[in-house]
Chains A and B, each alone.
Chain A
Amino acid sequence: MKLLLFAFAALLLPASAFAQSTAITNARIVTVSGATIERGTVVIRDGLIEAVGAGVNVPADARVIDAAGHTVYPGFFDAVTSLGLQTRPATPQGGPGGGQAAQQQAAAHSTRRYPLALRPADAAADELRAGKAQFEHARNAGFTTAVSVGRTGIFNGRSAVINLAGEDVAGMIVKSPAAIHVSYATLGMQYPGSLMGTISAIRQMLYDAKRLQEMQKMYAANPRGMRRPDADASLEALIPVLDRQMPIIFNANREIEIIRAIDLAKEFNLRLIIAGGQESWKVADRLKAIDAAVLFSLNFPKRTTAASPDADPESLEMLRFRAEVPKAAGRLAQAGVRFAFQSGGMTNLADFSANAAMAVQNGLSADAAVRAMTLSPAEIFGIADRTGSVETGKIANLTVVKGDALAKDKVITHVFVDGKLFEPKAPPARPAGNPGTGTGPAAAVAGSYNVTIDVPGQPLTGSMNFSVQGQSMTGNLTTQLGAAPIRNGRLTGNRFSFDATVAYGGANIDIQVSGTVTGNRIEGSIDSPQGAVPFSGTRVP
Chain B
Amino acid sequence: MSAPRPYTRPIDPQWWARPPYLAYTVREAAGAAIALYALILLWGVIALARGAAAYEAWLGFLRSPLSLLLHVILLAAMLLHVWTWFRIMPKTMPRLVIGGQYVPQARITAGGLAVAAAGFIVVLLLALWVRP
A, B co-complexed: no
Chain A contacts to B: CB under 8 angstroms: none
Chain B contacts to A: CB under 8 angstroms: none
